[in-house]
Amino acid sequence: MAGLIHGVEVETVRRGLERVRVEIEAAAQKAGRSPDEVELLAAVKYIPLEDLHVLHEAGLTLLGENRAQELEAKATAHPEFRWHFIGQLQSRKVKQILPYVELIHSVASDSALKQLGNHGTPETEILVEVNVAGEEGKAGIDPGELPAFLERAPVRVVGLMTMPPFAEDPEASRRHFAALKELADAHGLTRLSMGTSQDFAVAVEEGATLVRVGTRLYGA
């Protein structure tokens, strides 16, 4: 597919990983948090299956994939990683990804809930994706729909996820991250997937427990 990052090197990823970890630590300390509260997830949508071994050699352990078919192929070939699904979740793909993932970040429809009820287990854990910015056409439920959505969930909802509007300035994302944290606190949810390569430090300052970082790790 277009945009694939081929030939990524171990030392490049190690340097990227160290830089990202330093930024996470600084952001956590600034917010009075422990860096241990934040998990780094490497987004691998653009990393070919044949290059994933490089990420393991570099010290990465938790990977996230956006596409169900690619997740199945990559997780089957590389069970040494922990896997999360981070893409837009289609209900017809739920059964396909469940055997491979420990967490789904992007549940936002009743049809997905139905499939989770059909194929999930008592151990299945999910995050609900919330469109906190109210962007037209953006994935995620409206914040006001969350209480009823949680009641309908047939599996364990452990937290929330959001993707704020893209902005050049990471500070533009802060209010959206803060809103998600407030929403999670109001419902007793402890895990927050928010922040990407562009704005993960701000997300950590606002309470992220999972940050999804891609290009910053790979020198791209």
How much is the pLDDT for 3?
A: 72
- Does 170 fall in a domain? yes
> What is the signed CA dihedral for 23, 28, 31, 32, rounded to 10 degrees?
-140
Separation between Cα atoms, residue 160 and residue 203, nearest integer Å: 13
**Mean pLDDT, to the nearest integer, of 131-138?**
90
More confident: 2 or 133: 133
Confidence class for position 4, pLDDT limits 50, 70, 90? confident
Are 161 and 193 spatial neighbours (Cβ–Cβ below 8 Å)? yes
Domain count, the chain: 1
Asked if 25 and 41 touch (Cβ cutoff 8 Å), the reply is: no
For residue 47, the enclosing domain spans 10-218
The answer to whether position 61 is within a domain reads: yes
Q: What is the pLDDT of residues 35-78, one digit of tens each?
A: 999 999 999 999 999 999 999 999 999 999 999 999 999 999 99
Looking at the domain assignment, is residue 4 inside a domain? no
Domain CATH for 29: 3.20.20.10
Give domain status of residue 168, yes or no. yes
- Is 129's pLDDT higher than 70? yes
> CA 164 to CA 193: how far, in whole Å?
12
At 144 the three-state DSSP class reads: helix
Diameter of the chain measured on Cα atoms: 47
Asked whether residue 52 is domain-assigned, the answer is yes
Lowest mean pLDDT among 94-103, 134-143, 187-196: 134-143
Q: Has residue 5 been placed in a domain?
A: no
pTM, two decimals, is 0.95
Written as six digits, the tokens of 73 are 């192929």
Q: Do 200 and 213 touch, CB atoms closer than 8 A? A: yes
pLDDT at 144: 97
- Structural domain contains residue 3: no
Asked if residue 2 belongs to a domain, the reply is: no
